[in-house]
A and B are shown apart, each in its own frame.
Chain A
Amino acid sequence: MSRIRFRLRAFGSFLYDFVVGDDWRIALGVVAALAAIYGLRHGDGVDAWWLLPVTVAAVLAVGLWRVVRKTTPRKSG
C-alpha cells in the first residue's frame, strides 16, 4: 500500500514538475486569465482577447522580478 502511495506521489510530483514547473504563479495566472476570458465572453458577451497578453506580460515580469530580488545583494555600509 505504501509502495503504491509512494509511486503515485512520485508520479504526481513528476506531473506537477512537467506541467507547472518552477513557478506555479505562471500556471495560476494563465488559468485565471482564460477563465476570466471565458466568463466575460459567455456571461456578458465581452470579447476580452487583450486580457491574455496583459496577463502573460505581468506573470513573466513579476516572476523574473522575484528571482532578481532574491539574488540581488543589499548595499551595506
Chain B
Amino acid sequence: MTTGALFLAVFLACAVEAVEATTIVLAAGTARDWRSANTGVLAALIVLAALVAGLGPALTQLPIGALRLFVGALLLIFGLQWVRKAVLRAGGYKPMHDEAAIFQEQFGAAQAAEVQRRGRVSDWYAFTLSFKGVLLEGLEVAFIALTFGSNQHAITLAAVAAVTAIVVVALIGFAVRAPLSRVPENTLKFVVGVMLTSFGMFWGAEGAGANWPGSDAALLVIVPAVAAFAGLLVLALRKQATGTLVVAAENAAVGGAA
C-alpha cells in the first residue's frame, strides 16, 4: 500500500470521527461552560495519547503474520459494521446522520442539567459530556491509526494523518461555532467502511496464510469490488424501500376502507 493511500484512509476515518466529537464539544461549550468543556477535551486527549503510546510499541513487537491476522480480523469486523450502517442509511432503512439535529439534542439536554462544581472543574456536566464525546470518538481514531500504521510499519505517518484530520475539523468547527452539518458525513462513512473492509480482508487472509493473486496489486481489485457490491446493495435496498412504501400505502387504504 502506498503511503498516500494509508494517509488518505486514516485521514478520512479520523475526520468523520472528529466531526462527531466536535458537535458534542460545541454543544457542551455553547450551552454550558467553555472552560469546563475544553478541560474535558484536554483530559480525553491525555488518556488517548497514553493509550496510543502504550499500545503502539506493543503492537509493533508482534510477528507480522499474527499482527496481520489479528488486526485484519478487527478491521474487517469494524469495516463491515460501517458498511452495513452506511448501506442501511443510503438505502432508506436507517435515518441519515444529522449533525445539526444531534447538536440540538445535546444542546437541549445540556441546558436542562444542573450546574455542579467538582474540584477545579466549574461545570461537571460540560466536562463529562466533552470528555466522553472526545474519548469515545477518539478511541475509534486511535484504533484505526494504530492498526493501519502498525501493519505498514508507518505508525508516525498514520498518527500525522489522524492529528491533521482532528486539527482541520476542530479549527473549522470552532471557527464557524456551529455543527459541521455540511460535511458529507454519510458518504465519508461509506468510503471509510469500504476501505476498512478491503484492507481488513487483505491483511486478515494474508495473516491466516493465504496468498492473494497478484499480491499487493490485489487491493486494486478488492477496493472497487467491495465498493461496487455495497453500491448494489444500496440499490437493492432502495428498490425494496419503495416497494415497502407501496405496500404500507395499500394496507392503509385497505384499513381505511374496512
Binding site for B on A (CB under 8 A): 18-23, 26-27, 30-31, 34-35, 37-38, 41-42, 47-49, 51-53, 56-57, 59-61, 63-64, 67-68, 71-77
State the Cβ distance, A63 to closest chain B Cβ, in Å: 6
Instruction: Answer yes or no: B208 CB below 8 A from chain A CBs.
Output: yes
Distance from B50 Cβ to chain A, minimum over Cβ atoms (Å) = 17
Chain B interface, >50% SS class: helix
Contact yes or no, B237 A68, CB < 8 A? yes
A27 to B241, CA, bound (A): 27
Query: Contacts of B72 on A, CB cut-off 8 Å?
Result: 34
Report A-chain residues with C-beta under 8 Å of the C-beta of B222.
53
**What are 21 residue pairs bridging A and B, where the CB atoms are less than 8 Å apart in the complex?**
A20-B77, A21-B78, A22-B81, A22-B84, A30-B204, A31-B73, A34-B73, A34-B205, A37-B208, A42-B209, A49-B211, A49-B213, A52-B204, A56-B201, A60-B80, A60-B83, A60-B233, A64-B237, A67-B93, A76-B254, A77-B254
A15–B185 alpha-carbon span in the complex (Å)? 24
Whether the Cβ atoms of A71 and B77 lie closer than 8 Å is: no
Indicate if the CB atoms of B255 and A63 lie closer than 8 Å.
no
Whole-angstrom distance from the CB of B251 to the nearest CB of chain A? 5
Question: How far is B255's CA from A30's CA once the two chains are assembled, in angstroms?
Answer: 44
CB distance from B244 to the nearest CB of A (A): 5
| Dominant SS among interface residues on chain A | helix
- A19 and B255 contacting across the interface, CB-CB below 8 Å: no
Mark interface residues in B47-83 (1 if CB within 8 Å of A CB, else 0): 0000000000000000000000100111011101101
- Total CB contacts across the A-B interface at under 8 A: 109
**Cross-chain contact A30 with B80 (CB below 8 angstroms):** yes
Q: Which residues of A contact B84 (CB under 8 A)?
A: 22-23, 26, 60, 63-64
Beyond A49-B205, A67-B93, A75-B247, 5 additional pairs, beta carbon < 8 A: A22-B84, A41-B209, A57-B229, A60-B87, A77-B250
Closest to A28 in B: B77
Q: Does B197 contact A (CB under 8 A)?
A: yes
Report the bound CA distance from A72 to B242 in whole Å: 10
Expressed in whole angstroms, the minimum distance between the Cβ of B81 and any Cβ of chain A is 4
| A74-B198 Cα distance, complex, nearest whole Å | 36
Let me know if B121 is at the binding interface, CB within 8 A: no
Name the contact of B81 in the complex, choosing from A26, A47, A75 (C-beta under 8 A): A26
Point out the residues of chain B lying under 8 angstroms from A19, CB to CB: 74, 77-78
Complex: how many Å from CA A56 to CA B77? 10
